[in-house]
């Protein structure tokens, strides 16, 4: 089985912060998306490949636990890991201080497969996902 995780490094930009130089809570989702795309690209199944395979993958649920604030120019590591792929695509995230390794944020998103031609939600993830991830079909 392939490694179902990816990690990116970043430091929050000034425009991501509020007047107290703390990252605005909504910008965390941008960081999750960057890590998610890095993970999907690793498996050659990023959004363009998803659409080419005939499926759309909307996010239907997102949860975040803000443990400690992210600050302007703080060196960070953002991890994304696929934790479910049978009936839905669930990706867990962690944001860590790059220096200390302290976990600052914990989150997950859930995406479902939708047939692009009919708009119908799929109750099992399509086999193309399992092929791309290198996992056995259920």
Give a three-class secondary structure readout of the chain. CCCCEEEEEECCCHHHECCCCEECHHHHHHHHHHHHHHHHHHCCCCHHHHHHCCEECCEEEEEEEECCCCECCCCEEEEEEEEECCCCEEEEEEEEECCCCCEEEEEEEEECCEECCCCCECCCCCHHHHHHHCCCCC
| Total count of domains within the chain | 1
Q: Decide if 138 is inside a domain.
A: no
Q: Decide if 13 is inside a domain.
A: yes
State the CATH number of the domain containing residue 68.
3.10.129.10
Q: Is residue 10 scored above 90 in pLDDT? A: yes
pLDDT in tens, 33-71: 999 999 999 999 999 999 999 999 999 999 999 999 999
2: pLDDT confidence band, cut at 50, 70 and 90?
low
Q: Is residue 1 scored above 60 in pLDDT? A: no
Rounded to whole angstroms, the Cα distance separating 138 from 135 reads 9
Q: Decide if 72 is inside a domain.
A: yes
Residue 125's domain comprises: 5-133
- Mean pLDDT of the residues in the chain: 95
């Amino acid at each position: 089985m392939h490694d179902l995780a990816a990690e990116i490094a970043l430091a929050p930009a000034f425009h991501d912060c509020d007047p107290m130089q703390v990252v605005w809570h909504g910008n965390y989702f941008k960081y999750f998306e960057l890590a998610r795309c890095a993970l999907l690209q690793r498996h050659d199944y990023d959004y363009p490949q998803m659409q080419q395979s005939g499926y759309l993958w909307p996010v239907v649920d997102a949860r975040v636990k803000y443990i400690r604030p992210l600050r302007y120019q703080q060196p960070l590591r953002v991890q994304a890991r696929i934790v479910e792929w049978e009936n839905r695509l669930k990706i867990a995230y962690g944001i860590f201080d790059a220096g200390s390794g302290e976990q600052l944020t914990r989150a997950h998103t859930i995406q479902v497969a939708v047939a692009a031609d009919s708009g119908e939600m799929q109750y099992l993830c399509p086999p193309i996902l399992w092929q791309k991830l290198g996992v056995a079909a259920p």
